[in-house]
A and B are shown apart, each in its own frame.
Chain A
Amino acid sequence: MRLREIPITAWVGIFGILLAIFCALFAPWVAPYGETEVVGGVWQEADAQFFFGLDNLGRDILSRLIFGARTTLFVAFAATLVSFSLGIVLSFIAAVSGGLIDTVFSRFNDLMMSIPTLIFALVVLAVLPQHILILILVMAVLDSTRVYRLGRAVALDVAVMEFVEAARLRGEGTAWIIFREILPNTLSPLLAEFGLRFAFAILFLSTLSFLGLGIQPPTADWGGMVKDNKDGIIFGIAAALVPGSAIAALCICVNLVVDWLLKRTSSLKGGRGDA
């Protein structure tokens, strides 16, 4: 891979993601004020001292944004990754095995999807102890139903190709067929879905936080910050728009990178190495 072949849009995306990761890693050193520190009046206007102004309790929005990157990034990335791994493995097993396994997996998936995601999450999170790992797992499992749907559809298309049949005739096991024959040929739609799902994970996290079952205050997360400051909009205060824009910017950055990867993987020449 040559650096100069990376298009400008991908550089923008990479820069945005790196910035967010940098903020998350070095938050205590980067942030001008503490995460929960009250430094002034409620919804104080932005000025030279407070770059984005203060929030509904008088905390510095910029500092909270930087600290919030930690939770938001970590939870959204972890949940999306877990949901993808789970969804892809299960859907590919279903597509390759067919028959009873496919039916059981798919009908169970339908069952999960038939219950509204939010209500399901509320019930489960209300019962289980409040811990960030449990939150990630619940989000991942619920989201993996969507990934499963897509994964099974694209894998079925590839599973009937002759090179997969050739692998079966050679006597290859299911793991080889899934990871070496099918996965490389289905990466494009799955990557596109990844960009989309990541955005949804941030939104879902903020919804849960809004309902009091996601990230617990006073820990900052971007979705929660939107919720905290939303009442300000009525009074013409833009505090809620700052974390909202941050969510939008991050989603766009992730998708810019995904688009670039998509172009690389959908190249017929194999899409790796110096392609």
Chain B
Amino acid sequence: MPELSTGLLSVRNLKIEATSYPPGEPPKRITIVDGVSFDLAKGKVLGLIGESGAGKSTIGLAALAYGRGGAEITGGEVKLNGTDILALGKGGIRKVRGARVCYVAQSAAAAFNPAHKLGDQVIEASIKHGLMSRDEARKRALYLFQVLGLPNPEAFGDRFPHQVSGGQLQRAMTAMALCPNPELIVFDEPTTALDVTTQIDVLAAIKHAIEETRTAALYITHDLAVVAQISDDIMVLRYGKTVEYGPVQQIIEAPRQDYTRALVNVRQAIRHEAADQSRPLLSVDNVSAQYSNGFKVLHDVSLHLCRGQTLAIVGESGSGKSTLARVITGLLPPSDGRISFDGKPLTPSLKRRSRDELRRIQLIYQMADTAMNPRQTVRDIIGRPLTFYDGLRGAAKTAKVKELLEQIEMGTGFIDRYPAELSGGQKQRVAIARALAARPELILCDEPTSALDPLVAEGILKLLARLQEDQQLSYVFITHDIAIVRAIADSVAVMHRGRLVRFGPKSQALSPPFDDYTDLLLKSVPEMKLGWLEQVLATRRMESAGN
């Protein structure tokens, strides 16, 4: 553990509790954060990392003396430049928040008011706090827009939030936080919701801006590879307690705790691709698709997948990868081309498909939350396909549901739970069981792990791999994460703006020579090593200088 010296921010034995109200039981106190201490010197960045529920956001907000959703700071002290901000009254705290300590939220799209111009929102706090005049604030905003590399900085402030892209919005939010010249910024997963290719730009912009303005920062994320690029120190948290706290180099290169080691080594299992990829189960030939308003979303896509194998489809949001899955399921019939399944042409439209055709292709969604009816129990959710396709009822159905629960490595005790009573990983497992209940041959997985914590996601990937072995399942795995592709795919398709830019066995698709887009995509994936960001940016500069 590094020496606890007095710096800009010093947190000692922080304890945060909340009261939960489980139905039918008396309310109970739960401890969210327990005995966390750290120090942050001026101009330094501390990365807080952990799974959801580890308490990292709660700690971040404690630096603003704020408890979200009933969380109360019940112990310890948070000192900013020597003053204990927890002891300040409401008025005192107001002078700190938004002036000396600022906050950057995960979803900039939700944090900006859509009815006001970006420029006005960026300078609002500085003016409200009387830190600068409107003109000074404007000048500062312009400077920050330039530092953050926003396009056309003079006119940027006149735009409304919906007129700029997600990455730009996140940078605007950073500008908003930097504007009052704060001593400390709390970044709460600022790049988690972005595409990898956008994430790298935002990351670089944030890093540059922090260095330029010499502001200290708390950087909260669940992605160790990201935090390794930007922080000086890292604190690994689990269940509200510190697991490991040290300089970034030690954490990444010589982790001391098992949990940290697991985080560093996540997703390194590599599936060796199947040798024979010649007899397709699913083949998509020259398929194009468009929405009813004539907007074309897929252009002439051809690919295939063999039985018992995994095809990974990669691309950023809007690349048409999910649309391709919708076309295969029949939700959006292709306007051109044909899809065949097991040697026979697949009926284009969902409504005309026979029950058996529907049964053989199942879909797993990204958000298991919305993919399951919140008013049905696990028994109903998994049991319905059994009744619907196989006519199972009563005891036979219950027995089969229990068998499926065993298969997804969840106990039979979960059978009468509602989705809201399950964790994110458990929900996704139930969704997998629902797909399995139909005895499918092909499962379309639409980013099933991207909403999950790394270790939970790894568990899901391992489960899918084991089921594939046992039942000869074929997967179309849609993802934006190259690491997952490396880990599980037999063949890879790269999509960009509705076109297939690359398709082939994994060994070919992921080795040079690359087309421009695949190259960009591969280089944008954060790697678990120090200095990766600088390396990539340097290569980019060299390339653009060379051109």
The judgment on whether A and B are partners is yes
Residue A270 contacts which of B329, B331, B374 (CB distance < 8 angstroms)? B374
Given contacts A169-B358, A170-B384, contact A163 B371 (CB under 8 A): yes
In the complex, chain A residues whose CB is within 8 Å of the CB of B353:
171
Are A169 and B388 interface neighbours, CB within 8 A? no
Residue B365 contacts which of A166, A172, A269 (CB distance < 8 angstroms)? A166
Are B329 and A184 interface neighbours, CB within 8 A? no
Would you call A45 an interface residue if the criterion is a C-beta within 8 Å of the partner chain's C-beta atoms? no
Given contacts A169-B350, A170-B385, contact A162 B370 (CB under 8 A): yes
Interface residues on chain A, size class: 20 to 34
Residue B421 contacts which of A162, A163, A269 (CB distance < 8 angstroms)? A269
Q: In the complex, A254→B362 CA distance in Å?
A: 45
Would you call B438 an interface residue if the criterion is a C-beta within 8 Å of the partner chain's C-beta atoms? yes
In the complex, chain A residues whose CB is within 8 Å of the CB of B394:
none
Are B365 and A170 interface neighbours, CB within 8 A? no
| Residues from 302 to 333 in B contacting A, C-beta threshold 8 Å | 329, 331
In the complex, chain A residues whose CB is within 8 Å of the CB of B385:
170
Are B350 and A168 interface neighbours, CB within 8 A? yes
Q: Write the nearest CB–CB distance from B427 to chain A, whole angstroms.
A: 12
Residue B371 contacts which of A166, A180, A267 (CB distance < 8 angstroms)? A166
Q: In the complex, A38→B467 CA distance in Å?
A: 83
Would you call B373 an interface residue if the criterion is a C-beta within 8 Å of the partner chain's C-beta atoms? yes
Would you call B294 an interface residue if the criterion is a C-beta within 8 Å of the partner chain's C-beta atoms? no
In the complex, chain A residues whose CB is within 8 Å of the CB of B372:
163, 166
Would you call B24 an interface residue if the criterion is a C-beta within 8 Å of the partner chain's C-beta atoms? yes
Given contacts A165-B331, A268-B418, A270-B374, contact A170 B358 (CB under 8 A): yes
Are A269 and B363 interface neighbours, CB within 8 A? no
Given contacts A165-B331, A269-B418, contact A274 B24 (CB under 8 A): yes
Q: Write the nearest CB–CB distance from B171 to chain A, whole angstroms.
A: 31
Would you call B355 an interface residue if the criterion is a C-beta within 8 Å of the partner chain's C-beta atoms? yes
In the complex, chain A residues whose CB is within 8 Å of the CB of B399:
none
Interface residues on chain B, size class: 20 to 34
In the complex, chain B residues whose CB is within 8 Å of the CB of A170:
358, 384-385, 388, 438
Are B388 and A268 interface neighbours, CB within 8 A? no
Q: Write the nearest CB–CB distance from A62 to chain B, whole angstroms.
A: 44
In the complex, chain A residues whose CB is within 8 Å of the CB of B377:
270
| Residues from 244 to 275 in A contacting B, C-beta threshold 8 Å | 267-272, 274-275
The digit string for A197-218, where 1 denotes a CB below 8 A from any CB of B, is 0000000000000000000000
In the complex, chain A residues whose CB is within 8 Å of the CB of B69:
none
Residue A268 contacts which of B24, B365, B374 (CB distance < 8 angstroms)? B374
Would you call A181 an interface residue if the criterion is a C-beta within 8 Å of the partner chain's C-beta atoms? yes
Q: In the complex, A166→B353 CA distance in Å?
A: 15
Given contacts A170-B388, A171-B388, A270-B418, contact A162 B438 (CB under 8 A): no
**Which of chain B's residues has its CB closest to A164's CB?**
B373
In the complex, chain A residues whose CB is within 8 Å of the CB of B355:
171
Would you call A112 an interface residue if the criterion is a C-beta within 8 Å of the partner chain's C-beta atoms? no
Are A172 and B367 interface neighbours, CB within 8 A? no
A-B contact pairs, 11 of them (CB 8 A): A162-B370, A163-B370, A163-B371, A165-B331, A166-B372, A169-B329, A169-B358, A184-B375, A185-B373, A267-B23, A270-B418
Chain B residues within CB distance 8 Å of chain A = 23-24, 329, 331, 350, 353, 355, 358, 362-363, 365, 367, 370-377, 384-385, 388, 418, 420-421, 434, 438
Q: Which 8 A-B pairs have the closest CB atoms?
A: A184-B375, A268-B420, A270-B418, A162-B371, A171-B358, A162-B370, A163-B373, A162-B365
Chain A residues within CB distance 8 Å of chain B = 161-163, 165-166, 168-172, 180-181, 184-185, 267-272, 274-275
